[in-house]
Amino acid sequence: MTDPATLFEPATRGLFIDRLVRCLGWLAVLVGLCKALLEAYEIRLYAIQTYGPVIHEFDPWFNYRAAEYLAANGFERFFKWFDHTVWYPLGRPVGTTIYPGMQVVAVLIWKA
């Protein structure tokens, strides 16, 4: 074991400083990683803190209803569909606010 009094002698000072710099570097990486994880967590919870615990964009029930509507009414009516049952009291123009890929694939699989 190294005598602590010898750490600051000229022969061992360089080794001590190298170890200190390496430890500080790892500490900076750890602090940066923790900060990034905390920021990611806060960004993810922003909608819940602002609007409450409501399912927003990825609502599976809406996606099911949209696929069902597409299967029953076809493409033309689907892209002109204004859904009065969501985003109360305004409603939602589904045809202009949705990426229909999942619904189209679901209907194609269902009809196959």
Per residue in 4-30, pLDDT tens? 656 556 656 677 788 888 899 999 999
pLDDT of 62 > 60? The answer is yes
Whole-structure pTM value: 0.49
From the list 36, 34, 33, 2, the residue with the least C-alpha distance to 19 is: 2
Q: What are phi and psi of 83, to 5 degrees?
A: -90, 110
CA-to-CA distance for 87 and 84, rounded, in angstroms?
8
pLDDT of 2 > 90? The answer is no
Q: Are 16 and 8 in contact (CB under 8 A)?
A: yes
pLDDT of residue 104: 93
Pairing state between β 92-93 and 82-83 = antiparallel
CA-to-CA distance for 39 and 33, rounded, in angstroms?
10
